[in-house]
Amino acid sequence: MREDSPVTSATERPEPQTPESDRSAPFPRRVRLIATDLDGTLLRDDKSVSDRTVAALDAAERAGIEVFFVTGRPARWMGVVSDHVHGHGLAICANGAAVVDLHREGLVLEVRPLERPDALTVVEALRAAAPGTSFAVELTNGIHYEPDYPPFHLDPGSDVAAAEKLLSPEWATADQPVLKLLAHHPALAPDEFLVLARTVVGEHASFTRSSPTALLEISGLGVSKASTLERCCAARGIAPEEVVAFGDMPNDVEMLAWAGTSYAMANAHPDVLAATSARTVANNEDGVAIVIERIVAAQQNGA
């Protein structure tokens, strides 16, 4: 399942390109951190982590390179990689809204919330601009959604109510920070919906997407994978030029632009391909592992 996609795991993306699309960027002299998206990037389409990728992650950690999983997934969906966490155990979840310690059962260490008044403003604006939009609210304790929101099979027991009620200070979960607001439209094209939302209410929140459907992921203004990764790196004295990043969808674009070296997967969205000069092969061909192997070899050889 793609990040927060309630409908399908299929992805609207180009066919994997020929091997000549595997264009390497020159690695910095010292790579200190690898930041990788999960769905469509590190994970294969069946949500598995290949043996080659497991070995590459281990080799990076043994070489002294930290690996951050940077994803739109909430902490409770990190079981796909929790067995492959090494030294630091940190992940950036919910598109930058939460920093999570995977060594401690997904303990949330930091939250960058979407304030409820801003979330309500977004709901009101999108209901007016795109009738038929339905919403879900991602909190630190789980996801809750409207009756018309596409069926959400991974989170049974969620509250089902209008977004205005779910975001109300009187609602039972009002003490939980809002990590993301999700907005789904049954008819609009995904990129059309994203442009519309940014145009009508972009001053109140950050909008992105990672689903093949018209499903927007809405965070606090200025919150993104990139901005939270930057904060985590600054706390460790790691400069952007010491970071290598991987991604495939629009919610990765800012992170890929921030990192000193960035790779688009061959299966990436056109916006990601346009934002990066380096390419690796598709997620099902272990594109991230191939580059990590090269990085580790280059550092061992003093290149």
What does the pLDDT look like over 195-244, one tens digit per residue? 999 999 999 999 999 999 999 999 999 999 999 999 999 999 999 999 99
Q: What is the pLDDT of residue 172?
A: 87
Q: Where in the chain is the domain with CATH 3.40.50.1000?
A: 19-112+224-300
What does CATH list as the number for 19-112+224-300?
3.40.50.1000
pLDDT at residue 75 greater than cutoff 90: no
pLDDT tens digit sequence for 102-112: 877 768 899 99
Contact 262, 247 (CB under 8 A): yes
116-219 CATH: 3.30.1240.10
Residues of the chain with CATH 3.30.1240.10: 116-219
Q: Which pLDDT belongs to residue 22? A: 56
Contacts of 8 (CB under 8 A, 6+ apart): 212, 213
Report the predicted TM-score, pTM, of the whole model to 2 decimal places: 0.88
